[in-house]
Structure 1
């Protein structure tokens, strides 16, 4: 379904972005892989079995918080069928517990992540207006953009669910609907995927407590989320617009 299509993947050096890039290329799509750390992204893509000299892959450095760079990228590219924003910008103090978060850090993290997501959505919409060709945008939210945190899964661990994360991911869902409604053209689709927790070698106690909240899977593997993203990028979802698909094995029930 994706053969011959071209997609922009922002945050392609991350856990989700690197795997998605590899899967899209295996489906015979072309990918413009973008990340703020070009060398790390290339290392991650190589670890996914990709040759960075593959003709189907273009690797670029992109700071999503640099408006001029983002604008220049969208002005220079052509023929892309869609984009996925897998980026996760944050400051070094991100992840503090609620009472330890300063107003300055809260505001900075909201600006870094939500602000850059706004810019990305805006530029995708402007690209569609200019090119007048079908375009599928996929935003990555979270179950914690949909429901309140289940803080009990963090008991006995140093982990928490950052307040900035909840604010950002819930706002992303509405911004995704906003841009779909604003553009008002079925040729431009803006949808979201809200995964449950994704396995990344978290503490065993957390993994066990999390699993009890699901229907049996526990933390998701990256592969469990990729299929939904590819569906939203494909022509099979041509009239799915402004929607959010939750992939969490019942965690949010």
Structure 2
């Protein structure tokens, strides 16, 4: 029986000679590439944008917030104006999201990098969200699925033709350690914080979306996920102590800890990597 495959190589010209001669710096170089960052004005998103533009990318951000990432201090001081564009869009609205992406224009009608890092997060103050499980509402559960998972599905659909026009397509989803393990309620003891179940469920779905698309969008596009651990912000000191005590590196993450993962998966350093979930958690999930 003959099995047909979409995965074909010219074995007489393999590996392509240009890949065997590039330095690490050359593999990291993103000059001339177009990127779309969903959620590019948030805590993580702004660092993603900063990383991409530092490596030479032209970046378009899509976010419900109106703040232009061009106002980021690093970008303002070091990156030419015009290298970052911002579009305001509510990604929870399917029609608006699809129409907005269709209306975007990119150089050479292609996208090289798409990163989904928008999130309905555990610290949201929405009613029925960051409360004990029995008080969590179906509405906020569905809202989390919509923002964290359904929008990623839509974005993959709408950007696929543009990624197909690239020779270096990379699609990256931001998942979470709570896609991998259950909630440790001891972390939240005496902190006034809770871990909504909708967050972990939606982030788990992103990992299966990653695996599925890694096969169906190959060989033109690589699809990978990044799962950060808890990121230090303004959580109560008790939570910092609880979390750090469970982490081999004895601290929470910072946004800067995400930069290496983004640079790796967005660039040709990971040209033979697809379907990966890159965990950036200081070892939290190995205990």
Tell me the TM-score normalised to structure 2 length.
0.80
Structure 2: where are the runs of 5+ without partners? 1-27
Aligned to 1:88: 119
Q: Is the 8 A contact 1:74 1:127 kept in 2?
A: no
Aligned to 2:6: none
Which of residues 77, 85, 89 in structure 2 aligns to 1:58?
A: 85
Give deviations 1:51-70, integer Å, cap 9, x for gaps.
39712111111222233333
Q: Is the 8 A contact 2:120 2:199 kept in 1?
A: no
- How far residue 132 of structure 1 moved from its aligned partner, in angstroms, is 5.5
Aligned to 2:235: 202
Structure 1: where are the runs of 5+ without partners? none
Aligned to 2:56: 28
Matched, 1:149 2:183: yes
Taking the aligned partners of 1:205 and 1:195, their CA distance within structure 2 comes to: 20
Tell me the TM-score normalised to structure 1 length.
0.90
In our comparison, the structure showing a higher alpha carbon Rg is 2
Taking the aligned partners of 1:113 and 1:74, their CA distance within structure 2 comes to: 17
RMSD (Å) for aligned C-alpha atoms = 2.0
Aligned to 2:96: 69
Aligned to 2:36: 8
Matched, 1:192 2:234: no
Alignment length (residue pairs): 248
Note closer, same or farther for the CA distance 1:53–1:33 as it changes in structure 2 (3 Å cut). Answer: farther
Taking the aligned partners of 1:17 and 1:27, their CA distance within structure 2 comes to: 16
Give deviations 1:40-79, integer Å, cap 9, x for gaps.
x22x652443339712111111222233333334434323
Taking the aligned partners of 2:70 and 2:251, their CA distance within structure 1 comes to: 26
- How far residue 205 of structure 1 moved from its aligned partner, in angstroms, is 0.6
Give deviations 1:72-92, integer Å, cap 9, x for gaps.
344343232111111114782
Give deviations 1:88-139, integer Å, cap 9, x for gaps.
147822322211112233223322332112111222324334x264310110
Taking the aligned partners of 2:215 and 2:41, their CA distance within structure 1 comes to: 31
SS at match of 2:247: coil
SS at match of 1:49: helix
Taking the aligned partners of 1:116 and 1:251, their CA distance within structure 2 comes to: 28
Note closer, same or farther for the CA distance 1:157–1:14 as it changes in structure 2 (3 Å cut). Answer: same
